[in-house]
Amino acid sequence: MKAGLGAARPGRPQLPRARGYLSDRVISWLHTGEGPLPAREEVQRESPYGADLQLALYVLYELHYQGFDGVDDDREWAPAPLSARRHLEEAFLGALRSDVPALGAQEELAGLLTEPADDGSSVSHYLKREGRLWQLREYAALRSLYHLKEADPHAWVLPRLRGRAKAGMAAIEFDEFGAGRAEDIHAQLFADLMADLALETAYGHYLDLAPAETLALVNLMSLLGLHRSLRGALIGHFAAVEVTSSPGSRHLAEAMRRTGAGPAAERFYDEHVVADAVHEQVVRTEVVDGLLKDEPDLEPDVAFGIGATTLLEGRLAAYLLAAWRENRTALPAPLPRVRVRARRPAWSET
């Protein structure tokens, strides 16, 4: 690989700022195509959930999505970064396997079906009850790292399924991608929500503000989606998201209405209240059940995917709530203050 590959392409995200040795080596290599990339022993010295490792992994995964401005598309499959990515994945996956309790898939699913009481650990309950507009803006900025590519990581599992599981998964993905209408693609609906909240809607714009907890959640989807051997875990992850989405979205829709965030902000979550109530049934009765009837040996992997999602969502929730309850930003620096157009009152100061 020679330096200088990759024309500037407006619209693609910029490479982020490094957060330590691992991410610095990865970002430098993508800039130049030269220099050392992290070795296994160097990766093992870093926290698997830390911002440096998670950013390095996130940047390498993004080569499979939109890429980065000035980084040649051919670097997606270059051997050197793929080798470094494997070391990062081993550390992350090893930590998850160590930290996720060993439960059965049906036991994990059953635990998701009952909406938990408001015990103070839920972000959606907090935002519905007392969240302020500036907190909703922070939440949307961080969630944009996934929602602006919503359903993309899950599409990788389709060629790895068959029968009922494939048909059910394809039906849900069809809805996620707008059911044939570009304006209804869920990623576009989230961009519309961000516009209502006076946020930048460009893909990847808020990467430099994202804590390790956000990066880990997005990385989990990419990790499970990119590996055929983890297809069962990807289905478990998807089930965890779909089963819990409808009640959580209802709380967030109420938060948007209470703060006067705007019609598009409300619509995104209202859409998920309805759509994901249906998706929850399909994912349980067709996708999970169909997969396990075809490949019953994947049952522990499905359970692992559910458990890993629950673990990482809990880590992000704890991070956000610790900051917001102290009335401080959850970001490295507060978002720029803006006047957000609202319905109640006519204008609302963030």
pLDDT at 103: 77
Beta strand pairing call for 339-341 and 347-349: antiparallel
Q: What is the pLDDT of residue 278?
A: 77
Give CA–CA dist 105/233, Å, rounded: 10
Rg (CA), the chain: 20
Closest CA relative to residue 264, chosen from 333, 323, 202, 198 = 198
Domain ranges of the chain: 21-99, 105-349
Tell me what pLDDT residue 107 has. Answer: 75
Residues lower than pLDDT 50 in the chain: 1-7, 342, 344-350
Separation CA 282–CA 245 (nearest Å):
14
Superfamily of domain 105-349, CATH level 4: Heme oxygenase-like (1.20.910.10)
- The secondary structure of residue 198, as a DSSP letter, is T
pLDDT at position 315? 97
The 10 Å Cβ neighbour count of residue 167 is 14
Take residue 326 and report the two structure tokens written for it.
Answer: 């102290």
CA dihedral 212, 216, 217, 220 (to 10 degrees): 170
CA distances from 135 to 141, 222, 256 (A): 10, 27, 11
